[in-house]
Structure 1
Amino acid sequence: MSLQALSARLDNLESHVAIQRLIAEYAHAFDRRDEALLRSIWHADAVLALGAAFGHFVGVDAIVDSARQNWAHMPHMHHWMANTLIELQGETATAQAAVDCMVLHRELGQVQISGHYHDRLERRDGRWAFVERRFDLHYLTPLPHWKPVAGSEAPADTASA
């Protein structure tokens, strides 16, 4: 194998890892309420299109503002990203990822949100970041009888159960 071919394979692998990491960082940023991490995963002109249920936002400042609004209504989130598919085309890429998210909503209580993300990413100046992240909502389902009985998010009176 030529050095050029080996270099191309290595770049492909590194790009896949970088994009997988961006998808995970998106989930961690929302779950941890980490504005700095959330800002770091987008190019400045990025779009976050969450659909009718959650809104459409253009630019990093608008995306972070939308996160603040979501955190005000949903103070606890836990995202699970799965079944990621990535297609590289030089300095651009597309990705798809399934998501299940459990949230504690101030009005609805515990809610499960499920859907699919469709991503466009670009490598600019050597850095991969989201250009567009579009969410297709499969369902948003209140779970009225859901109650944690142990763990860091369980109420103090049930944490020892």
Structure 2
Amino acid sequence: MEMSESIETRLDRMESRFAIHELVSNYCHGFDKRDWDRFIGIWWENATWEIGPPFGNFEGHEGISHVTRDILWDAWLASSHFTTNLVLTFDSDDSASGICDVDCIGTTSDGVAQTISATYRDDYERRSGIWKILRRRVAMHHFSPLPGVTLSPPE
């Protein structure tokens, strides 16, 4: 953000940063709490979610619904995502890209504690004043069991 930009432009960028940061957080909350409306609300209808191996790539709300409800939520008994290091670049007033790191810990449906580390590369678009994810590319660093660890709620 340059000081030579108008106050309106600078304010718009600040508000946009907050809105996009909320999208990144709502991904975690929506997925982990199985809050479908919150989760699908972050994606444009024509969004692409490129999870990559072993899951694949998914197009639009229909594809995102399929992978989330039929594959991923069935695969996880519980999960907790933590995103960090979000860096945003504005390509125009209504287009931005971002990169953040994610760690996830959870228990898969077979009862095994797992840890995942990945990087998300996102394209965001604002339509009619609303920011959403247009494309998310996932680069997995590890997806590993935690031998001998049982994740359970406190008694």
With normalisation by structure 2, the TM-score equals: 0.91
SS in 1 for 2:7: helix
4+ residue runs over 3 A deviation? none
Which residue is equivalent to 1:63? 64
SS in 2 for 1:138: strand
* CA deviation after TM superposition for structure 1 residue 38, in Å: 1.2
State whether structure 2 residue 92 is matched by structure 1 residue 96: no
Query: Could you say which residue in structure 1 is the equivalent of 2:148?
Result: 145
**Unaligned stretches of 5+ residues in structure 2:** none
Greater Rg over alpha carbons, structure:
1
Task: Determine the structure 1 residue equivalent to 2:19.
Answer: 18
CA separation in 1, counterparts of 2:55 and 2:101?
A: 17
- What's 1:129 paired with? 132
1:54 aligns with 55
After TM superposition, give the deviation of residue 75 of structure 1 in Å.
1.9
Retained in 2: the 8 A contact 1:99–1:116?
yes
| 2-structure distance, mates of 1:118, 1:108 | 30
Could you tell me how far apart the structure 1 residues matched to 2:10 and 2:137 are?
29
1:115 to 111, 114, 118: 118
Deviation track 1:33-57 (CA, whole Å, cap 9, x = no partner) reads: 1111111111110000001122210
Note the residue ranges of structure 1 that are not aligned, 5 or more in a row: none
Within 1, Cα distance between the matches of 2:34 and 2:129?
27
> Which has a greater percent of strand?
2
Give the match for residue 9 of structure 2: 8
- Once the two structures are aligned, what percentage of the paired residues are identical? 31
Q: Answer yes or no: is the 8 Å Cα contact 2:122–2:136 preserved in 1.
A: yes
- TM-score, with normalisation over the residues of structure 1? 0.88
Aligned positions, number: 150
Q: Aligned letter for 2:112?
A: G
Structure 1 range deviating more: 78-87 or 65-74: 65-74
Alpha-carbon offset, residue 31 of structure 1: 0.4
